[in-house]
Amino acid sequence: MNGDLMMAFVPVLIAVVVLWRGWRRVESDFVSRWKERFNVDVPPDERSFVVERLERGRRVRAICVAVGLVIAGLPTYMNLIDPALSGSFANPLVGHAWLFAATLGALCAEVLVIQRPRYRKASLVERRSRDYVDQRFVTAVHALGGSTLALAALATALEWWNWEEAWIGVGASAVAVASVHFGVRAILERPAIAVDGAMQDLDDALRSDGAFRVVGAAVALAASGLTTIGIGNAQGMLAIPSLLFGLLAYIGLGLWWTLARDVKWSVRQARSVP
């Protein structure tokens, strides 16, 4: 009983840590790395504006991930309430709930943002998605989605082991693709803060930051969808694809971290390419 209680406490503890990290203040060193990452200057009088925007997005994403982590812990909670029902919640949908939530959180952080233009003046700059995010990863999300759908259909036709769970992966891919589509579109269509000068560059950098976070989370979710494909009983040679799918899921998680925090991008440079 004590062991079950400790296991049930772990998801909640992790969720609390995520919320704590999400509510931390954006420090000067983070802003410095952010400026270098997106090749922009942050004037001293605009620093509070940028910090507020970054903190707002961080908090929305943290809340969503925390909720997803709590949901993912359902099997451990049921061990305390009714162990016989615990297995009913031990499925990929519940297990991947935090990735679903992270993807939707990144989307919400961009869709729900309130953009107030500094000047009521139309921008003549054409915004293209490839100006704000590396299109290779957008393509990867669609490719993973198509692969998961094809494999789920094959698993259903051949009645592979636990083939029904493969369609949870299709759902994950669908959420990932939809998140990228609607997230990037919202980023492109929201009003500009300013149409020229340093604030235009900051506006573009904030759009790019959001786009990379949306696409990064979608890559992780779409890659995890492949792990729901059951191939036989995953023994012998049939275990190799399952191992590859699991490895791809970890690669997706690593790409999510890189795209959300580390990759460098210049909107001005990307926009100069016809």
pLDDT tens by residue, 40-50: 999 888 899 89
Alpha-carbon distance values, 233 to 209, 223, 238 (Å): 42, 21, 8
Average pLDDT, the chain: 87
Alpha-carbon distance values, 207 to 37, 53, 56 (Å): 13, 11, 14
Lowest mean pLDDT among 77-91, 144-158, 216-230: 77-91
Rounded to whole angstroms, how far apart are CA atoms 166 and 217?
A: 20
Q: What's at 184, amino acid-wise?
A: V
Task: Indicate the SS3 state at residue 78.
Answer: helix
Confidence of residue 197 (pLDDT cuts 50, 70, 90): confident
- Per-residue pLDDT for 76 more than 90? no
Rounded to whole angstroms, how far apart are CA atoms 56 and 178?
A: 23
Q: What's at 136, amino acid-wise?
A: R
> Could you tell me where the DSSP H helices lie in 73-114?
74-81, 83-89, 92-95, 97-111
pLDDT digits (tens, 9 = 90+) for 167-186: 999 999 999 999 999 999 99
Task: Indicate the SS3 state at residue 120.
Answer: coil
pTM summary value? 0.90
Place of tokens 């995953």: 234
Q: Which residues of 216-235 are buried (b: 16+ CB within 10 A; e: fewer)?
A: bbbbbbbbbbbbbbbbeebe
Confidence of residue 236 (pLDDT cuts 50, 70, 90): very low
Confidence of residue 198 (pLDDT cuts 50, 70, 90): confident
